[in-house]
Amino acid sequence: MPKTETILSTKSLHYFLQLIDTMNYTQAAQILGITQPALTQQIKKIEHAIGTPLFGQMGKKLYLTEAGKQLQTGAIKLLGTVNSVVSDIQEFTQEDKGHIAIGVLESVNSDILRHFLVKFNQKFPDITINVSYYNRKDLWYNLDNNLIDLALLYVPETTKKSQANIQNQYEQMKIVQDKLTILTHDNQAEVGKAYPVSKFLGKKWVLYPDDFYLTQLLKGKLGSKLNTRNGLKVPLTFTSTQQLVATAQETKYDTVVSDSYFQLHKNEITLTPVFLKGVQKFSISFIYRKGKKDVPRIKNFLVELKNFLS
């Protein structure tokens, strides 16, 4: 097989990018549904074809070589082009066939989406759907490069200049209006009441990482008080909402979640739900490129979702 065919095989590049996502051969192979030796062999074939290693190893940890970084950039662009071409072709096919790629922000509660997808799949079994979870930066990158069709994420209710990009290039379908909910151990706090920032200063928290939207909302409200002696103390962070809440309940730390998550899991949560005065409201919304609704399967998906929500 010619070297270029080995490198440009969509399957090979898909395997390569999946390994980058996990930096673990075992986990990547499990996600891909193949054996670890098969994945290792595929990567070695690409390395042999280009004549240089794509991955290095430091201890037990993998890292990308410079050649690997260059191939990653090319692979993403190439697969984006392939997906775009396939998408363009499928625009002329029926609304009940094809593939839909959905990206979901890591911290977004996607239970409603999962329930809908079960119903949608039963009604349209010939439409395949792939759901992947990303941080905000990677989610927008995949949306910008047409690697996903729809992105589910938090969107502030008040539109600022920095969000003009959403209005100009994308359309939005609001799924549910949401707000920041604090889960506290404070026995004097009243359920559902909104409190000022001063109520929560000096407490210890378990939160999402700094680049997560809900953490940014909380820290944005603290403002100048953030770096004071009584500011935010965060001994633990988690990307998983389930682990966040479980840890808060096992410790004396407070935490924050979306109200939609709390409403779906309130029977499992023992902490007191309260709100923070003056925090910006937001929605969980689908964002997609303008023109995506011209694709029959995407239009059909959005119509069915709207009917499901109503």
What does the H/E/C string look like for the chain?
CCHHHHHHCHHHHHHHHHHHHHCCHHHHHHHHCCCHHHHHHHHHHHHHHHCCCCEEEECCEEEECHHHHHHHHHHHHHHHHHHHHHHHHHCCCCCCCEEEEEEEECCCCCHHHHHHHHHHHHHCCCEEEEEEEECHHHHHHHHHCCCCCEEEEEEECCCCHHHHHHHHHEEEEEEEEECEEEEECCCCCCCCCEECHHHHCCCEEEECCCCCHHHHHHHHHHHHHHHCCCCCEEEEECCCHHHHHHHHHHCCCEEEEEHHHHHHHHHHCCCEEEEECCCCCEEEEEEEECCHHHCHHHHHHHHHHHHHHC
pLDDT beyond 90 at 286: yes
- pLDDT tens digit string along 70-126? 999 888 888 877 777 666 665 556 688 888 999 999 888 788 899 999 999 999 998
pLDDT beyond 80 at 301: yes
CATH superfamily ID and name for 91-177+283-309: Periplasmic binding protein-like II (3.40.190.10)
**CATH 3.40.190.10 domain range(s) in the chain:** 91-177+283-309
Tell me the C-alpha distance between 37 and 203, whole Å: 49
Q: How confident is the model at residue 161 (pLDDT cuts 50, 70, 90)?
A: very low
Q: How confident is the model at residue 22 (pLDDT cuts 50, 70, 90)?
A: confident
Average pLDDT for 131-150? 89
**CATH 1.10.10.10 domain range(s) in the chain:** 3-74
pLDDT beyond 60 at 5: no
Amino acid in position 137: K
How much of the chain exceeds pLDDT 90, in percent? 33
Per CATH, the number for 180-280 is 3.40.190.290
CATH number, domain 3-74, options 1.10.10.10, 3.40.309.10, 3.40.640.10, 3.30.300.10? 1.10.10.10
Name which of 48-52, 77-81, 136-140, 300-304 the model is least confident about: 77-81
**CATH 3.40.190.290 domain range(s) in the chain:** 180-280
- pLDDT tens digit string along 30-81? 888 889 999 999 899 898 888 899 999 888 889 999 999 999 988 888 887 7
Long-range contacts of 298-302 (CB under 8 A, 24+ apart): 298/100, 298/149, 298/150, 299/95, 300/95, 300/96, 300/124, 301/100, 301/120, 301/127, 301/150, 302/173
Residue 41's CB is within 10 A of a number of other CB atoms, namely: 12
pLDDT at 178: 87
Q: Rounded to 10 degrees, what is the CA torsion of 33, 22, 155, 160?
A: -140
Q: Model-level pTM greater than 0.85? A: no
Q: How confident is the model at residue 300 (pLDDT cuts 50, 70, 90)?
A: very high
Mean pLDDT, the chain, integer: 84
